DNA sequence: CATGTATGAATGATCGTTCATTAACGTCCC
DNA sequence: GGGACGTTAATGAACGATCATTCATACATG
């Protein structure tokens, strides 16, 4: 730790280049083959060294997983963290920001993919898992707040915003399974699809929807529609132990 | 194989009770801890025998996984297999059948859950994987056909039915991650939520939606609404290599 | 010399799987 | 009716492979 800078100037470049390169390789391998199916030998071979050398950079295999997941969650949360406190923002635009950002992080740099997140969470130490889960909770909190604000302004249909948030995150998360770049929609097109799909699902009026699609955000002051009550699902008693 | 009946009459009951019990235990363990995290010793301990005994019932560990996944896919597909050939059915009702059935299978008999399906598919032999994937493709084909029929009749908004099908399956599949029975919505309530969420998302008119919610299926002949064009996503050039 | 980087060998654990063996039981023949 | 026989069910020990990890050591460089 102490002489990290000195070491790196001496060889190639800035601070921790080697560690970052290993981390990038681990990220790709984990997403491709799953955490348990990637051995330290695999990772060492990808980096071009013996397994023992990896322990000069990481304490355990689990700590590598932790850093990979942490990096991912930061990329998702950082661009939308400001939304939670912005009470006066446009919910439709905020939703667009969340969906596009989340999908971009989800589908960038990856070819095939496993659902690393769900499975590997159990491999983390309780301490590390707490960190990741709390970041996921932050994401859930933000998207729910946006939905609720839209409902309160009559922009969206009234329904359980927790479950609705799960639905949105689920659609985005699972693109990892079926989406292949270059074979159909682009990532941007897919994001647009999910965005409009979601807007309709939460009952945004068609006028708002089309206005937003054409870049016009002035549809905010259009007349309200009558609320549709979800007979079964608008009970607020739903608890959320884990999410997407 | 030959004296299977003879053996079972001799001991406890019908054909293959022991194998079925092991299979049920394996299913629960796999979904709880993930395929790779369940050892043959774990399974043997749950059943109450030595690991070697399991090889009297299954050739390999992978064949157990295969039978578990096969059973699950059959439960999902069998109740909706007739839909594909029924050209004159009501798309809204068919969609309801698909969603309710799929969610019920997904959430029945399970407490906590991993995304076994995605991760474990790669552990199957190419031969076995082909079987499971082809069943998943059947599911995708059915749901897409229903969506497309609804669009052609003007019941649903015009959009890419393949991507829409992925969205629906994604929402259902991922309930495994966050849903906990007894802590909020019931499974039936959640199914109703997803059903209505989906109907709105694919642009089913509010009248149809409410008619269906109240059990009235006569809304089929109501007047059509103008189609909304998905500017980005209605291109039919999307390919589908894998799905939910 | 000290520190970062890397090696190769070794460790203990766990994994799926095989093998030889044994007990229990139904069937069939005498 | 009572052994011989074959199948099922189960055992305990063992095998080879792989796993994450450790350790002593070596080289290069500031």
As to burial, measured by CB atoms within 10 angstroms (0-12 exposed, 13-18 middle, 19+ buried), residue B49 is: middle
Better pLDDT: B207 or B138: B138
Which residues are within 8 A (CB) of A48 and not within 5 positions of it... i.e. 6 or more apart?
none
Predicted model pTM: 0.82
| Strand D contacted by B56 CB (< 7 A) | yes
Residue B60 has pLDDT above 70, yes or no: yes
Q: Summarize pLDDT for B99-117 with one digit per residue, the tens.
A: 999 999 999 866 555 667 7
Terminus-to-terminus CA distance in chain B, angstroms?
35
Nearest-nucleotide field for B2 (CA, C1') = D7
The rounded mean pLDDT for chain A is 81
| Strand D contacted by B21 CB (< 7 A) | no
Q: Which residue is nearest to nucleotide D10 (CA to C1')?
A: B53
- Tell me how far apart the alpha carbons of residues A155 and B174 are, in angstroms, rounded to a whole number: 27
| Strand D contacted by B2 CB (< 7 A) | yes
Mean pLDDT of A35-54: 96
Q: Summarize pLDDT for B62-108 with one digit per residue, the tens.
A: 999 999 999 999 999 999 999 999 999 999 999 999 999 999 999 98
- Tell me how far apart the alpha carbons of residues A72 and B74 are, in angstroms, rounded to a whole number: 36
Q: Summarize pLDDT for A108-152 with one digit per residue, the tens.
A: 866 555 667 777 888 888 999 999 999 999 999 999 999 999 999
Minimal Cβ distance to B193: which of A196, A210, A233 = A233
Exposure of B107 in the CB half-sphere (CA atoms within 13 A) = 23
A with B: how many residue pairs have Cβ under 8 Å apart?
Answer: 169
Residue contact A244–B177, C-beta within 8 A? yes
Which residues are within 8 A (CB) of B42 and not within 5 positions of it... i.e. 6 or more apart?
B29, B33
Question: Please, which pLDDT band fits residue B208 given cuts at 50, 70 and 90?
Answer: confident
- Tell me how far apart the alpha carbons of residues B74 and B66 are, in angstroms, rounded to a whole number: 12
- Tell me how far apart the alpha carbons of residues B210 and B187 are, in angstroms, rounded to a whole number: 20
Residue contact A244–B166, C-beta within 8 A? no
Residue contact A119–B34, C-beta within 8 A? yes
């Amino acid at each position: 730790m102490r002489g990290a800078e000195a070491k790196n100037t001496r060889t190639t470049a800035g601070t921790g280049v080697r560690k970052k390169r290993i981390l990038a390789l681990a990220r790709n391998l984990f997403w491709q083959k799953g955490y348990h199916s990637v051995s330290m030998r695999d990772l060492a071979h990808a980096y071009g060294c013996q397994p023992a050398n990896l322990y000069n950079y990481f304490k355990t295999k689990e700590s590598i997983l932790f850093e990979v997941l942490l990096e991912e969650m930061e990329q998702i949360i950082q661009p939308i963290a400001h939304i939670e406190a912005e009470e006066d923002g446009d919910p439709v635009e905020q939703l667009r920001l969340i969906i596009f950002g989340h999908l971009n992080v989800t589908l960038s740099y990856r070819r095939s993919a496993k659902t690393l997140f769900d499975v590997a969470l159990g491999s983390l130490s309780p301490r590390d898992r707490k960190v990741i889960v709390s970041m996921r909770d932050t994401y859930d909190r933000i998207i729910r707040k946006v939905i609720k604000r839209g409902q309160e302004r009559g922009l969206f249909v009234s329904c359980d915003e927790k479950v609705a948030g799960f639905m949105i995150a689920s659609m985005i998360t699972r693109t990892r399974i079926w989406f292949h770049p270059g074979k159909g929609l682009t990532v941007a097109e897919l994001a647009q699809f999910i965005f409009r799909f979601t807007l309709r699902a939460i009952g945004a009026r068609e006028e708002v929807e089309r206005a937003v699609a054409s870049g016009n955000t002035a549809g905010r002051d259009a007349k309200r529609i009558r609320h549709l009550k979800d007979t079964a699902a608008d009970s607020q008693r739903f608890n959320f132990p884990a999410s997407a």
